[in-house]
């Protein structure tokens, strides 16, 4: 890899979203298509996955697994085994740098995870699925262990992937824009003008706009909108908040505004996104 993550300040790399699960409640031959705000690691313990992403298609079964980045259209087919059974386990994850830059969007990732790393990830999922003990000291120790396992997942993803050519420049820009990115992440309900963003970045408005567009791949306003939509998606995944409440929390004028922008970004309404089945 060109860019060494260890050279970044430790506090700049965060776990933004993480879910693990397993299930045997998948109908054989089931097909679903989606675009989600998180990366996915999926492993078919019985049966076989068929995954299409970015023009590539693979079929994988345990101990191998599949790996997909965030914000890419996915087509997932569940092929049952000879017993007409399909069992899967999975990780949904988002690791970010400077609070807003999704690492999976900076990487060229293999669609297929080889068996050796698949076995390791399968063990991590099983350990993460264990419930916490009731004893406070035991729960504290388990919490530390879980954090360690999350970073092992990131290490495996990095070992399997290669950074895109533009990743180094984008990470440098993220460091330069860190005060602004932090503000955007932590102040959803107060949208900023371009001039206000430029002030936080300590640049003139004209220089800021050109710099941001060239380094981050979109306009500052579009970038801020994506941050808010990603937060809305996380809330739809993790909570039962009403659309109005999510709109208020993420800085959208009303539920209709959020729904329109959300469908434009993810191809699904908030209600449809919330109804997505757990697991790939």
Query: What is residue 9's predicted lDDT score, i.e. its pLDDT?
Result: 58
Handedness of CA 240, 242, 243, 244 (dihedral sign): negative
Indicate whether 101 belongs to any domain.
yes
Residues 79-98, mean pLDDT to the nearest whole number? 94
Indicate whether 148 belongs to any domain.
yes
- Number of structural domains, the chain? 2
60 or 206, which is more confident?
60
Claim to verify: residue 187 and residue 265 sit in the same structural domain: yes
- The pLDDT tens digits for 2-15 are 445 545 555 688 99
Range of the domain at 213: 177-274
Claim to verify: residue 87 and residue 132 sit in the same structural domain: yes
What would the two tokens of residue 189 be?
A: 């309900």
Global pTM exceeds 0.85: yes
- The pLDDT tens digits for 211-256 are 999 999 999 999 999 999 999 999 999 899 999 999 999 999 999 9
Indicate whether 171 belongs to any domain.
no
pLDDT at 274 > cutoff 60: yes
Query: What is residue 11's predicted lDDT score, i.e. its pLDDT?
Result: 61
Claim to verify: residue 190 and residue 136 sit in the same structural domain: no
- Which residues touch 73 (CB under 8 Å, ≥6 apart)? 33, 34, 35, 53, 267
CA-CA distance, 199 to 186, in Å (whole number)? 17
* pLDDT, mean over the chain: 91
The CATH number assigned to the domain holding 207 equals 1.10.10.60
């Amino acid at each position: 890899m060109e860019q060494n993550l260890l050279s970044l300040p430790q506090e700049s790399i965060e776990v933004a979203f993480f879910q693990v699960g397993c299930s045997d409640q998948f109908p054989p031959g089931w097909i679903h298509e989606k675009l989600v705000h998180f990366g996915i690691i999926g492993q078919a313990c019985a049966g076989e996955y068929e995954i299409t992403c970015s023009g590539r298609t693979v079929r994988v079964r345990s101990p191998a697994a599949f790996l997909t980045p965030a914000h890419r259209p996915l087509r997932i087919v569940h092929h049952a085994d000879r017993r007409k059974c399909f069992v899967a386990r999975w990780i949904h994850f988002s690791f970010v740098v400077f609070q807003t830059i999704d690492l999976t969007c900076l990487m060229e990732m293999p669609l297929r995870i080889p068996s050796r790393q698949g076995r390791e990830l399968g063990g991590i999922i099983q350990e993460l699925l264990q419930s916490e003990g009731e004893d406070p000291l035991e729960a504290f120790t388990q919490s530390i262990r879980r954090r360690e396992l999350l970073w092992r997942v990131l290490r495996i993803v990095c070992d399997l992937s290669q950074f895109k050519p533009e990743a180094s420049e984008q990470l440098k820009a993220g460091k330069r824009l860190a005060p602004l990115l932090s503000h955007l992440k932590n102040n959803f309900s107060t949208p900023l003008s371009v001039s206000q963003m430029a002030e936080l970045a300590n640049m003139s408005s004209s220089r800021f706009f050109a710099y941001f567009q060239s380094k981050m791949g979109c306009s500052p306003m579009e970038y801020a909108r994506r941050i808010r939509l990603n937060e809305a998606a996380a809330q739809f995944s993790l909570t039962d908040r009403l659309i109005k409440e999510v709109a208020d929390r993420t800085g959208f004028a009303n539920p209709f505004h959020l729904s329109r922008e959300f469908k434009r970004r993810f191809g699904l309404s908030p209600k449809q996104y919330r109804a997505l089945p757990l697991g790939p």
